[in-house]
Amino acid sequence: MCGITGFLSFAPDHAEGMQAQLQRMCDAIAHRGPDSDGFWIDAAAQVALGHRRLAIVDLSPQGHQPMRSACGRYMLVFNGEIYNHQALRKALPEQAWRGHSDTETMLAAITHWGFEPALQRMVGMFAIVAWDAQERQLLMARDRMGEKPLYYGKLPNGDFAFGSELKALRAHGAWQGRINRDALALYLRHNAIPGEHSIFEGIAKLPPGHWMAVRHDGSVRQHCYWRLQDLASQACARRPSRSDAEAIEGLEQLLGTVIRDQMVADVPLGAFLSGGVDSSAIVALMQRQSTRPVRTFSIGFDQEAYNEAEHAKAVARHLGTEHTELYVTAQDALDVIPQLPRIYDEPFADSSQIPTYLVAKMARQHVTVALSGDAGDELFLGYNRYLIAHRMWRQLRRLPLPLRKAAAAMVLRISPETLTRLGSHLPSLKAHGPLGDKLHKFAHLVLPARDAADMYRRLISHQGDPEAWVHGAHEPATLLSPGALPAMPSEVEQMALADQLTYLPDDILVKVDRAAMAVSLETRVPLLDHRVVEHAWTLDMKHKIRDGQTKWLLREVLYRHVPRALIERPKKGFAVPLDSWLRGPLKSWADDLLSEPRLRAAGILDAQRVSTLWAEHRSGRRNWQYQLWDVLMFEAWRDSL
C-alpha cells in the first residue's frame, strides 16, 4: 500500500520548479507510505511521478518506485497489491528479474501484453499511473471494485495532476479549489460524494474498472476494462444448477484460495474481527491455513447497545487466534472528530468512520497489513433493508401512484408530534420509536416511488431534495438515477447491484482506505476479489436468502468452522450514538458550526433549513442525527481548508 502523485505539464517554462512541486505533493500523502519516497522527472517531457512507499512485498531497494520497465519504455507508480503476480511471472517470457515485487511483474506484463490486456489478467487492488515514453502519454488505471482511490484533474495553469488523495493535488502551487456545489448536493443525499465526482470543481475520480490515457497534446481518452453491471446481467442469465452441498464447497474453496493469496506479505499481518458473519468467516479461513495463530483485532464500547467485543473474543477463542481488543470510551471516540476533515480530505459522513479509525490505529501497533470482512452484506444480501424494501414494494405496487401520492400529502399535513401522540393510544406501536417520524419518512420517501429502484433510492437517501439545501446546485445523475442500471431477476438483487456500484466504492471502501492509511495500515478485502464478486452473481437467490435469513451460504461456510451459537444474534453494526452526543458533549461544537449567521455568511447551504433541523434535534422533538452529521462534516471540512 502506498501513495502516488504527479503531474504532466503543458506550460513551456515549468521545468525549473518541478522537483520542489513534486516534493510538496508527495509530502502531503506521507502517511500513506512512511517507509520511503521516490521521485522521477523528465524535464523534456515535463512529466513528474512521485511515490510514498509502505513496503509490504520485497522490502529491498528492488521494490522501490517509481520503477522503470526493463525495456525502458514505461515508468510507473503504483498503489495496492497484485495478488497473482507470481502466477503472472510464470506466464510471461523467461527473463532476469531484479527482485520479487509485484510492481516489477506489472511492468513486465504491460510491456508484454499491453496496458488493458495486462489489467484484465491482474487480480488485486490498485491505482496505477505509468508514463509511456514511446507514445508520450500518461496511462492511469483503477481496480475493478474501487478499493484504491485515484483523483485527477486539470489545474488553472494547465497542468494535469493526479494523486491518491486530494491532499496531493492541493499541494500543487497552481491549486485553487472551488467548491463543487453539484457534488455537495450529491453528498447531502448519500453522505459521501459518489461516482466520478469530487468536492472540487474540475477534479474527478477515475471510476472503478476503468483506465484512461492522457496524451501530451492534452487529449484524454477513458476506457472500461471491467463492467460489473454487464457481468451481473450475464451471470444471472446463465446460472448453473447447484445443490446446497456443491454451493457450500465451491464458495469455501474459492474463498480459501483468495485468502491464501491475500495472506502473502513480508511484514506482520492480521485481521479485523467483529464477531459477525463476514469477519468471522475470513478469520476462520485464514486460521485454517496458517501455521501460527492469526493476529485479530477488535474494539469494544462501554455502551452495551454498541458493543460486540465479547462476541469477537468468543470467536477468537474458539478459532485459537492471538486476539487483541481495546475498549474505548465515548471521549476516545469524540477525540477523533477533529481529525476527520484531515483524514477524509473531502466531506464524508458515515459515522462508523470513527470506530473504523480507532480499530485501524490499534491494529497498526501490531501489524502492517489487516484483512477485513467488508462486502459480505452487498455480495450475499446481508442487509435487512433489502428484505424490508422488497416486502414493502410488493404491497405498495398494488396501489396506483396517484392514490399513494394523495395519501402521502395527507400524512405530511399532520405534524410528527401529533402522529406520535395519536399513536401512543395504540399499545402495539409504543415500543417502536417515534411513530410520527417514521410515518413522515414513509410518506415523504416511499409512497411517491415510481418503482422498486426509485423506492430504494429514496430509502437510502439522507435528503430527498438536496438541491433545496445547497444554493445554486443542480444534482447530477448517478448510477442510482432512474433507468441507469439494468434490470435484475428480483428487486432484492437490483438493490444489491446498486449498492455494489455505489455504496460500496463511494462509502465503505473510502471509509476503510482513509482511516487505515491515516495510520499507515494496509487493508485487504478478500470478498472483493473479482473472482468472488463474479461467483456471487452466479448463485441462486436460495443460496443467499433462505427462510428469512440473510447470507445463508456464507453462514453455512462459516458454520463448518465456528459453532452457530457463537454467531447467531441481532446485528448491531459498527455505529456510535450520534443522536445523544449531538445533544450532549458535541452540542457546543455543533452550535458553532451550525450557527445561522455563520451559514448565511458562507452562502452555500440554506441556513434557515439547517437551523430548523438543529433546533428540532436539540429539543428532542425529532432525531435528525444523520442529516445533521452530513452538514457538520461538511462545515468542519470547510473550516479545515
- Report the catalytic residues: 2
Give the DSSP letter of residue 216: T
Give the residue from 446, 442, 443, 463 showing the smallest Cα distance to 454: 446
Give the residue from 257, 551, 249, 231 showing the smallest Cα distance to 378: 551
Cell of 166: 486530494
Burial class (CB in 10 A: 0-12, 13-18, 19+), 500: buried
- Residues 349 and 575: their CA atoms lie apart, in Å, by 12
What is the edge-to-edge ordering of all strands in the sheet holding 74-82? 67-68, 74-82, 124-132, 137-142, 210-215, 220-224
The secondary structure of 337-405, three-state, reads HHHHHHHHCCCCCCCCHHHHHHHHHHHHCCCCEEECCCCHHHHHCCCHHHHHHHHHHHHHCCCCHHHHH
Task: List phi, psi (to 5°) of 223.
Answer: -135, 150
- Give the other-Cβ count within 10 Å of 288's Cβ: 15
Residue with cell 446460472: 239
Give the DSSP letter of residue 64: -
Q: Percentage helix, strand, coil, to 5, in the chain?
A: 50, 15, 35
- Give the other-Cβ count within 10 Å of 296's Cβ: 31
The beta-strand segments (E) located in 107-171 are: 124-132, 137-142, 151-154, 160-163
The enclosing H or E element of 580 equals helix 578-583
State how far the alpha carbon of 197 is from the alpha carbons of 153, 226, 276, 421, 425, in Å: 11, 20, 33, 43, 48
Residues 6+ apart with CB under 8 A from 604: 179, 181, 184, 470, 471, 638
- Residues 540 and 488: their CA atoms lie apart, in Å, by 12
Q: HSE on the CB side for 363, CA within 13 Å?
A: 32
The per-residue b/e assignment along 228-244, b for 16 or more CB within 10 angstroms, e otherwise, is bbebbbebbeeeeebee
What would the DSSP string read from start to end of 607-624? HHHHHHHHHHHHHTSS--
Give the residue from 31, 29, 39 showing the smallest Cα distance to 522: 31
- Residues 346 and 194: their CA atoms lie apart, in Å, by 12
How many residues in the chain? 641
The secondary structure of 317-349, three-state, reads HHHCCEEEEEEECHHHHHHHHHHHHHHHCCCCC
Task: List phi, psi (to 5°) of 609.
Answer: -60, -45
571 and 305 Cβ atoms separated by less than 8 Å: no
Residue with cell 399513494: 404
Cis omega (within 30 of 0) for bond into 66: yes
